[in-house]
Structure 1
Amino acid sequence: MKNMKMIVAFALVAVVGAAVAGGAVWYMSKGDEAAAEEHDAKGGKDGKEAKAKKAKKEEKKDETPPKYLTVDKVIIMLKRVPTDTSAHYMSADLVITTNAKLEKEAKEHLPMLRSVAVRTLSNLPMATAQVMTIDQFANELNKAFDETYEQEGREKPFSEVMIGKLIIE
């Protein structure tokens, strides 16, 4: 009987300890947010960055798992220099990141995305394309898509474009 009381007492202490620890973690995380808000209110130079980070975290919590759509075989003829007699081509497979809510709309935009990608990448001379990294190609395309959607006054149904495959000949 004594052993049973001790087991119950230890279990009770463990439960109370876990509750206190959970409360402390919750309280401390609220303190960080309050301090950040106070810093923002005082005109801290990082206020905008803190708000942007907080908004991004909240946005990520609400997001469903990402969906990936492909734009296969975007073939581009690269610009030639006047002394070059052979044609140079680039072939790229693009991957578009979206979410389940915007997936249908993003699929409807794939032909336009292909067109913007061709228009953007066909302006590259062969010498430039050969030394660019995958990230640089992706950045160029993301800028072009942002500008296109901004000019049209529409919201992008995807968050970013990535390069799935790239071949330059």
Structure 2
Amino acid sequence: MTMNKTKIALLVLLASLLTAGSTAAAVWWGLKPKEATEAEPPKPSPDYRYVSLDKVLVMLRGRQGESVTHYMAVDLVFKALPENERRTKDHLPLLRTVAVKAMSSYSVDAATAMTVDQLADELNRAYTDAYAAEHREAPFAEALIGKLIIE
């Protein structure tokens, strides 16, 4: 009889180990990261439209005591969603005004010391501030500099 009790005890122990093992495997399977093939494909970037604002002329402040006038000529490009292209074109007079106001505070030395990216960042900050002051959303995603001349 002790042999049967030992066999039963071993069978119960074996069943318990199988149950615990299968539970652990199920939990591990549920927690494992999804395969790369199961992941969502990245969304394509929007098909932006580009609206040009050419020949924004800005008079720069000269050096102290200098009589020569310095100018900055900038061609801007506004990156807009297709549904905002018309609205961006309608805002071009405002966009020109904000650009002139933002850039005219620079001296010729400060303007020439800046990179194109720095000037674009300053313009984008000026546009963000101008639209925030009017409690409106800008019709474009970003302003880019297409051409820059400082004389």
d(CA) in 2 for partners of 1:166, 1:62:
31
Partners of 1:78 and 1:87 within 8 A in 2 = yes
Give CA-to-partner distance per residue, 1:71-119, whole Å, 9 cap, x none.
0000000012332110000100001000111111111001100000000
Alignment of 1:1-169 (within 5 A): 24-27=35-38, 29=39, 61=43, 64-169=46-151
Q: Percent identity?
A: 41
Query: Unaligned 5+ residue runs, structure 2?
Result: 1-33
Give CA-to-partner distance per residue, 1:117-141, whole Å, 9 cap, x none.
0000000001101111000110000
Question: Structure 1 length normalisation: TM-score?
Answer: 0.65
Match of 2:19 in 1: none
Instruction: Identify the structure with bigger relative contact order (alpha carbons < 8 Å, sequence gap 6+).
Output: 2
Give CA-to-partner distance per residue, 1:2-35, whole Å, 9 cap, x none.
xxxxxxxxxxxxxxxxxxxxx94344x37xxxxx
Question: Structure 2 length normalisation: TM-score?
Answer: 0.72
Query: Unaligned 5+ residue runs, structure 1?
Result: 1-22, 31-56
| Structure of larger gyration radius | 2
**Equivalent pairs, count:** 117
Partners of 1:63 and 1:99 within 8 A in 2 = no
d(CA) in 1 for partners of 2:105, 2:64:
15
d(CA) in 2 for partners of 1:96, 1:164:
10
d(CA) in 2 for partners of 1:99, 1:120:
25
CA RMSD of aligned residues (A): 1.8
Q: Which amino acid in the other structure matches residue 76 of structure 1?
A: V
